[in-house]
Amino acid sequence: MWYAVIATDHPGSLEKRLAARPEHLARLQALQDAGRMLLAGPFPAIDSENPGPAGFSGSLIVAEFASLVDAQAWAKDDPYVAAGVYAHVEVKPFRKTLP
């Protein structure tokens, strides 16, 4: 089943985000390589694709996991959690309708 991982960044965590990004992207790439990634990306803190020093306010990841417990465990182990980027992470079942 698909699960949405909705994360909110701590304010001012851009430097931590940039430092942990390679590890974070490697985990996402592993999901992609396994055919389990629907989409992933950050929420710019301002109305811009490249927010520069304004940074990001969080992230959205939609990926396939065997269960909600598995999705929650995966999200808990994200490098952004360990680095103190994410202030809050919520995981919800997701049903893809379109396209």
* The 3-state secondary structure of 67-78, one letter per residue: CHHHHHHHHHCC
Q: From CA 41, how far away is CA 55, in angstroms rounded?
A: 13
Task: Say if CB 49 and CB 28 are below 8 A apart.
Answer: no
C-alpha distance across the termini of the chain, in Å: 17
26-39 as b/e: b if 16+ CB within 10 A = ebbeebeeeeebee
Q: From CA 70, how far away is CA 92, in angstroms rounded?
A: 12
Task: Say if CB 94 and CB 12 are below 8 A apart.
Answer: no
Reduced to 3 states (helix: H, G, I; strand: E, B; else coil), residue 81 is helix
Per-residue pLDDT of the chain (99 residues; tens, 9 = 90+): 999 999 999 999 999 999 999 999 999 999 999 999 999 999 999 999 999 999 999 999 999 999 999 999 999 999 999 999 999 999 999 999 999
Tell whether domain 2-46+55-94 is in CATH 3.30.360.10.
Answer: no
Any idea where the domains of the chain sit in the sequence?
2-46+55-94
